[in-house]
Structure 1
């Protein structure tokens, strides 16, 4: 069994039996959590007009990128060092499959909240389908319309983001990125490394462009449409769904860039490249979630 390490290390040790690789204890997960929480608190402060200043988000972001680099480097050294056998590969696949399943349930909860607000909560508040006239005492005159900023319109009047502007452009970008990623995958399986690297960087560029357009959309929503997280249930569900998806696109783009760099370093083989496949699974999941967002948040 591996002995505890005093500080995070890039190298791990196989057990004495040699049957299954056991990594050494590492503090990277805890340290990355602390860095990300710092970024989240800074982002929350900015959105709620309680700014904590520029230093915490900068320090948190730099720490997160450094930790991710060192952590990923350690995993790459383990993989390229021949420490993983077939059993490790199977557990990696099972772990990634369960991770994506948990992400499906994560977004299902938010889609469920959107459905509940639109199909149940708002109609009840307007008196539809109720035998008791409690809505007359609570919110008289409230109408069953969507989008809504709720009774009393506490967030003020707002406009929605047109589905056929930047959201449609972003839909095309993500769908195209799925095609370029699969093109890169087939090139890798056929041992055409240069072609694979080219299409991987194209995929990274498409993901980055998506994030740029989403940031532009958010600025337009905040400053021109008065659509914020204070805009009732519509504003909160809109930014919750699109914001978490944007976070996943950010993470996916970072992972794609890491895979592209590893390909340039000569990593992966045509018949052994689960690191590539795992990231591809994640990216296709992100694509599918966005299609649901585009339909049920922007169009419907």
Structure 2
């Protein structure tokens, strides 16, 4: 039932939160047991937890979609959704901000200090007299052995062009939705998903190249850990974004959105643009500088 203008929609009692809670407990608990070499019980518990989470996500989002299509959400609810998405993206900014901060700390402070700069002169003299504070580094003792860095002008540059192009295609799709051009909307939204999947394919190839030919691994000291931490989590966000865009494409094909009411599309587009901006920072500070 549609809500009146001054009323805020209050959902009915839902079983999805408790299912999600059990799913999280199973996923995290099973992963913990698995990492502590309890494979026989850890793996199945984690698998059950992941299955419960997927079941919860499909079911809960289906419920929200049905509520939206039924006209249960008014302008006030739409505003709260927008604020929630903005806060979520802000939390993601802080998430990557912490990782970029770790990269800055290691590169601009820790490595020079270990090399003898400032108050690190005695530490360098007594503990690591032969350590050179050059970046990229795998630390004193060359943890993980010698490695080569990934060139910025190969796959990383290509992936940058792919993500920038995807930002253009999703914007064109948004304008097509607002103009009521259904075919153009579906074509450019599908192109956005294809560009994202291509990005992930090239990133997987990059990781294989790093491990097999460059000896650049997670064990390659501070550079290896920060490289894979930043690029890996970004790749995870691209994966999630591509999945969300695919779902939005299916909803567009079913005619769920109008030119005036399509916040779900806008929310995913915001997220995708955020992913693009983060990659530009990665390309500059991880690959180029």
Instruction: Assess same fold via TM > 0.5.
Output: yes
Q: 1:86 to 1:35 in 2, by over 3 A?
A: farther
Q: 1:245 to 1:223 in 2, by over 3 A?
A: same
2:103 equivalent to 1:122 = no
Q: 1:149 to 1:213 in 2, by over 3 A?
A: same
Whether contact under 8 Å (1:31, 1:67) holds in the other structure is no
Deviation, 1:215, is 1.2
Q: 1:51 to 1:181 in 2, by over 3 A?
A: farther
1:44-193 mapped onto 2 (5 Å cutoff): 52=39, 63-130=52-119, 132-193=121-182
Q: Secondary structure at the match of 1:151?
A: coil
CA distance in 2 between counterparts of 1:162 and 1:137 reads: 35
CA distance in 2 between counterparts of 1:179 and 1:126 reads: 45
Match of 2:282 in 1: 293
CA distance in 2 between counterparts of 1:97 and 1:158 reads: 40
Whether contact under 8 Å (1:14, 1:22) holds in the other structure is no
Q: 1:52 to 1:224 in 2, by over 3 A?
A: farther
Whether contact under 8 Å (2:27, 2:46) holds in the other structure is no
CA distance in 2 between counterparts of 1:121 and 1:75 reads: 48
Structure 1 unaligned segments of length 5 or more: list them. Answer: 1-12
Q: 1:224 to 1:142 in 2, by over 3 A?
A: same
Whether contact under 8 Å (2:22, 2:49) holds in the other structure is no
CA distance in 2 between counterparts of 1:274 and 1:100 reads: 15
CA distance in 2 between counterparts of 1:131 and 1:198 reads: 58
CA distance in 2 between counterparts of 1:203 and 1:51 reads: 41
Match of 2:214 in 1: 225
Q: Secondary structure at the match of 1:133?
A: helix
CA distance in 2 between counterparts of 1:234 and 1:296 reads: 12
Q: Secondary structure at the match of 1:95?
A: helix
Q: What is the aligned-residue RMSD (CA, Å)?
A: 2.7
Match of 1:20 in 2: 8
Q: 1:35 to 1:194 in 2, by over 3 A?
A: farther
CA distance in 2 between counterparts of 1:173 and 1:129 reads: 43
Q: Secondary structure at the match of 2:228?
A: helix
Q: Secondary structure at the match of 1:99?
A: helix
2:17 equivalent to 1:29 = no
Whether contact under 8 Å (2:2, 2:70) holds in the other structure is no
CA distance in 2 between counterparts of 1:139 and 1:150 reads: 10
Spell out, residue by residue over 1:81-107, the C-alpha distance to the aligned partner (whole angstroms, 9 max, x if none): 111111100000111111111111111
Instruction: Name whichever structure is richer in helix by fraction.
Output: 2
Deviation, 1:144, is 1.0
TM-score scaled by length of structure 1:
0.86
Structure 2 unaligned segments of length 5 or more: list them. Answer: none
CA distance in 2 between counterparts of 1:29 and 1:14 reads: 28
2:194 equivalent to 1:200 = no
Q: 1:176 to 1:40 in 2, by over 3 A?
A: farther
State how many pairs are aligned. 284
